Structure 1
Amino acid sequence: MMNRLFWKIFLSFWISLILFAGAGLLAASLFLERTHAQDEIESPRDRHLTYINEARLVAKIEGIEGLKSWLKKLDRTEAIPFLLIDRAGKDLLDRPISSHLAERLDRRRKPRRPTDERRSPGRRDLIQVPGAGEYLLVPNFQAVTLNRVLSRPRVIAPPVIVAAIVSGLVCFLLAGYLTRPIRRLSNATHQFAAGNLSLRVASTMGRRRDEVADLARDFDHMAERLQILIGSQKQLLSDVSHELRSPLARLQVALGLVRQRQQHQTNAELDRIEHEAERLNELIGQLLSLTRLESNTQLTHSEPVDVAALLAEVAENADFEARAANRQVRTINNSLSATIEANEPLLRSALENVVRNAIRYTDENTSVDITLQHDPEHPGWLLVQVRDHGPGVPDDMLTKLFEPFVRVGDARDRESGGYGLGLAIAERAIHLHGGVISASNEPNGGLSVRIRLPLNQAK
């Protein structure tokens, strides 16, 4: 039970090897049967005389070269090799001659009586070749081996072809049987990693009862547990965020009442309380936005959005904020006209989060550059690039920038007012639009965030 798939693979290859071996034996058997059938119709001596007559005719018409060609053709078709031997005891095709055959030829060439020299048995086997002397056509029965039989193309080819087709079909079916569920599992893991936690694959395995089906069931069990855990985490985050809103609202009301009683006098402690309450309110708002984005699997509302116009508006608003910190936001080559089907507020929020993050970390007296173009590496996609001129981030943090609450430097983030949620919200929003967001360090300093959006969503 633990090795069901192992036995399927083992037996399939074993059967294929048996088929090939059986094909070889079948080929030899069929050839020998055909040879015996020919012998029943025509005796070996009669066939020998037929070949002698053919050889004489070829020698007379085509000479020694034609005789060589005829002999090669005969050698490819006959399991019994026929040697054409001259007076010196050499074969016309330089094939080896056994000592037993050489002795037998010597005895045949010697006449029994001087008066019977003209009627020597060897005379009937002689083949006169103009300009090349006399040759003797002799069958070499001792050279008939299994290897020679199997090496005849017309003998071995049909069974081997049949065996190859059958075994190839078996291997093809086995490969499909093994790879189809593995491809389903691979696609499922990609979709699961992309956020589709409700995906299950065991039902697509049919009646399989092997290790692959066990793996599919284990995957479903893992997916179910992860879905429950992540769902609980999201629900907890959402509940806590909502619960924090109520005491925070009461705190802000109480703060306003205190200020009224003091007739709006300046108080550093109250200002500090108000500042921290605003920050807490902003954090709760971002947490609620993140939980809403993570709970959605597709856009609830979409409309045609001009990406260039949206970027120009985001850049103008961000530039107004950046100038207060001796920074600026620029759009470069933003003349491209591109309209996609998107949720305008959600896409705007994603772009604003990325741009504000760049403003936060670019050096003073530098700019945040925003470019829009068709992606040169992916036809049919738009590429939005937001590049700052700050210190960048460590390479091992590039893939973690879009995770919630991830900070490159805690002290720097506290000073800048960041919570580690802006890029996470942007990543979820871009993902809902079918896009991809990534970050990389520039060679001459600074961080670039690239947002790719598919054009095929445009109506």
Structure 2
Amino acid sequence: MRSLFWRILASFWLAIALVAGLSILLGHMLNQDAWILSRHPGLNNLPQTWSELYENQGEAASQDYLQGLKRRYHIDVQVLNDAGEAVVSGTFPARAAAFEARQHDDPRQLPWRRLTTEYTSPKTGETYLLIYRIPHPELDAWHRQSLLWPFSALGIALVVLTLFSLLVTLSITRPLSRLRGAVHDLGLTVYQQNSLAQLANRRDEFGVLATDFNRMGARLQSLIGSQRQLLRDVSHELRSPLARLRIALALAERAEPAEREKLWPRLARDCDRLEALISEILALARLDATVGNPEPVDVRGMLEHLQGEAQFNDEGQDIHVYIEDNLVLHGWPDMLERAMDNLLRNALRFNPPGARIEMQACRVGDRAQLSVRDHGPGVAPEHLAQLGEPFYRAPDQTAPGHGLGLAIAKRAAERHGGHLTLQNHPEGGFLACLDLPLEPVMPTVN
């Protein structure tokens, strides 16, 4: 993964290095002999001008030209022919020449910059060697006065830093703008999964953030959708018992005392049904609440406790429990017990008298399977896919219930990182199985 932090840091350091390098390169270039000879106002046309004066007006005129150059720019000039002899006396004093000769081994100690150039006259074909000696203060003053160096360095620095700053800024603001749009859409519940698909393909922090945001958006959209559906289902399921209670109360108000006494048991049953429905709705809602860390689950103790409670309430049922030895399961015991209790109650509703109900806990690979099987009529295959949805009941189901037991078990399995399998047993009856990892991760909102 390419870290955005290192990318930004490298961009700034690279920009600084480029500016420094270009500045040094420009400074070196400005200090080159060819650059000075071609750009300095006293030297750029000197060979041609001197040659024309010398050849057309004689030695005196050319010498006067060199003297004028000396006064104006403080530059000493020597002109030699092919034999190395002075063509004119020039402006370089003899004592200065002797001093230069003594400093031959270390030219840096000289107080001037020595430049040389050759010029061939197009008129006579003679070749002249011109030697310039520019004092260092004069050369530095020309660099400062030319303004080329500071403006060039500043311009290069601004261009380079602007380009790098623009690239870094765009690499940050564009993903942030997309994330901002996704947050806006999520707030309006119109978030689309493909809105951040391109950003999620990036291999930096923005790509990781977009991937996590996509997951969060999907979970929130799913949660919002399930909550809306739950509210619609709850309002529908609560309407029927409340309507019955309202009708019974209206009848009781107009009934005679003897008839009124007959209505009280009906009112009590409707209140009990309403209380049971609300209890199951709350149990389903609590499964989405934050839970603590996973802990070891006493699978044997849990199943045997459920077996005892069921046989105590209905002595006619034969409930057999099989638990694999050394089965160690980690999770949330209360949540799993509520799920298995609902599966067992569902089996008790449809199991014929005298038939066996089988509760089993075994290990399959790195997963644990907790199952409940009855010998009832089962469920039509076309309705199996919808089992486990809140308030859904198969059309041919006549046993009492609200359609929340399997939904609670399914949600509990998902909170453990597993799933609920519902199917008709090949040998008859119905099989409900919780398929769970032995070490569940912290639950997430679905």
Give the structure-2-normalised TM-score. Answer: 0.45
Larger Rg: 2
TM-score after normalising by structure 1: 0.44
Query: By percentage of residues, which structure has more helix?
Result: 1
